[in-house]
Amino acid sequence: MTADSYYGRPIVKEPVWQAEIPFYFFTGGIAGASSVLHGLARLGGNERLAKSALYVGAAADAVSPLLLISDLGRPERFLNMLRVFKVSSPMSVGSWILFVSGGASNTAAALELAGKLPRVKALAELASFLTGPPLATYTGALLADTAIPVWSEARDELPWLFGASAAASAGAAATIVTPAALAAPARRAAIAGVAAELGLLKAMENRLGFVGEVYEQGEAARYGKISKVCTALGAGLLAVGGRRSRSAAVAGSALVLAGELALRWSVFKAGFQSARDPRYTVIPQKERLSRAASPAAPSAARRPA
């Protein structure tokens, strides 16, 4: 099967996003999952962990718009995205989620520090809790909604992968700033998030077939290896020594955070790499056409020579 294009030139354009975007994916994930962790800790009566998650989430929510505005170039471009709410556009929905979540979590954190207006604070916490899961996952849906082959072909896994990574990141961040005796739910969130993430990565790579080759090449591969090593080692440290040793908890959490940031960079770079090679656009299209024409025929080879 050949991959024809005009003189071998790319068929789709590379993304125009700059380096701020993978950091934005990372901080947005921490913010969204921290809102959920805060709400669950509050319901469980763990006030110390709830405060830690609230402040971590508010800090990440404050940084995220700055990263997005920096990539856009001018602040008014972010405001322009709030002029409409378009359900069919992940970018439009995500902008509103970020706006509501950031406002709610920072309002709740400010009122927590001031010790004032408990009812308003409770409403802000509720809004932050409800917008947390969408904030943690919408960037995966945003990538999958593009024409970039390795992102669009992973539409079933990317939102869940980003959600698992967000849970691991939020758990690790809260563990660092919470006494070990009270950080058990955060440690469990970090460990479970890493386990789910590694499983989802394997499933995504298997389903992508040859399109997933980009994760074995160049910068995507380097960041991917860093991510897997750091998250696995970090989760192991948290599981083995995180409950008894403060230093193990901090070191394990730092490794998890480093690995989750590297994961965002791996996915980000994979998109650029897959856009440059027309094979990753043409061959999946031909396979889909072949299956549509002959539903009973076996699928084409996944790794062409």
Mean pLDDT by 10 residues, the chain (305 residues): 54 81 94 96 94 95 87 70 68 79 91 92 94 92 88 92 96 95 94 96 89 91 96 95 90 97 96 83 68 58 46
Q: Are 192 and 153 in contact (CB under 8 A)?
A: no
Which tokens go with 295?
A: 């539903």
Dist CA 302 CA 207 (whole Å):
10
- Nearest alpha carbon to residue 169 among 104, 109, 235: 235
Which tokens go with 211?
A: 């399109």
Total-model pTM: 0.85
Burial of 73 (0-12, 13-18, 19+ CB in 10 A): exposed
User: Using one digit for the tens of pLDDT, what is the confidence trace for 29-78?
Assistant: 999 999 999 999 999 999 999 999 999 999 999 998 888 888 877 766 66
Rounded to the nearest 10 degrees, what angle do helices 158-176 and 118-144 cross at?
A: 140
Q: What is the pLDDT of residue 301?
A: 42
Q: Phi and psi (nearest 5°) for 190?
A: -65, -45
Q: Match 């403060």 to its residue by tokens.
A: 246
User: Using one digit for the tens of pLDDT, what is the confidence trace for 209-225?
Assistant: 888 899 999 999 999 99
Give start and end residues of each alpha helix (H) in the chain.
Answer: 20-43, 47-72, 75-80, 90-114, 118-144, 149-152, 158-176, 184-208, 218-241, 246-276, 279-293
Q: What is the pLDDT of residue 279?
A: 76
